[in-house]
Amino acid sequence: MPGLYGYVTARTKHMDRLLIEDVCAGARQVVVLGAGADSRAYRLTADLATIPIYEVDHPATGAWKQDMLGRLLGRIPDHVHFVSADFGMRTLRSALDTAGVDRTVPTVFLWEGVTPYLVSDDIDATLDALACFASGSSVIFDYWHRDAFDQPCPYPEGEKYIRGLAARGEPVRSGLDPATLTDYLAEYGWHLVDNATPAVLARQYLPGSTRQILSLSSIAHARLP
């Protein structure tokens, strides 16, 4: 998977940085959407140990994770909570309410490595569902550039990835257009704060490295005014 190691390394560092900055700036809870094996709740303990963290995922993935954490850590930290939801079912808002996620306090939503696997309606519905949270809440997510799905694909690694992920049973389904991202997010009430392109990520996080970085994906950071 050319460029993946470099991209995921840079993405982890970038999202760690944005998450910690938002928490230091006053966010009172963290919601990890499609948490999978995200380890931030257990790794960034100096910054995250005192606020609630909600890990949202498909029921099967959440159950696998809780089993793994039980084995690795002995017990799950009290401030970490698991929420079952399927972005395709339009039940995210009620699942967050039922889990006790407080809509009235500034919240950071971390949505890493998930949007490419969703159909665009589910990305739209998720951004819409989160827009009822308190002013100052933020969402940090990566997305594939929409033109990666063009034929022929304008990115050197694109076709290999699309074929390879489909063959693994995890097809990528949609992307967003970096050129219209500001307007797209504004439709759902979000203000784009920053969009980190592959070039920016490589410069900031892989200086002096000869590693390739995935060229078809960027990272957005948006906030509710």
**Chain contacts with ligand SAM (rule: CB under 6 A):** 34-38, 57-58, 61, 85-88, 112-114, 117-118
Q: Are 123 and 43 spatial neighbours (Cβ–Cβ below 8 Å)?
A: no
> Least distance (Å) from ligand SAM to the CB of residue 117?
5
Decide whether 121 or 183 has the Cβ nearer to ligand SAM: 121
> Least distance (Å) from ligand SAM to the CB of residue 132?
19
Distances (CA, A) of 149 to 51, 113, 145, 163: 39, 17, 8, 11
Q: Are 142 and 110 spatial neighbours (Cβ–Cβ below 8 Å)?
A: no
> Least distance (Å) from ligand SAM to the CB of residue 158?
17
> Least distance (Å) from ligand SAM to the CB of residue 47?
18
Decide whether 35 or 224 has the Cβ nearer to ligand SAM: 35
Q: Which two tokens stand for residue 159?
A: 């076709």
Residue nearest to ligand SAM (CB): 36
Decide whether 17 or 191 has the Cβ nearer to ligand SAM: 17
Coarse DSSP helix, strand, coil percentages of the chain, rounded to the nearest 5 percent:
45, 20, 35
Question: Exposed e or buried b for every residue in 87-102, given b needs 16+ CB within 10 A?
Answer: beeeebbebbeebebe
Decide whether 76 or 134 has the Cβ nearer to ligand SAM: 76
> Least distance (Å) from ligand SAM to the CB of residue 65?
8
Decide whether 37 or 73 has the Cβ nearer to ligand SAM: 37
| Rg, C-alpha atoms of the chain | 17
From 224, 215, 216, 218, select the one nearest 192 (Cα to Cα): 224
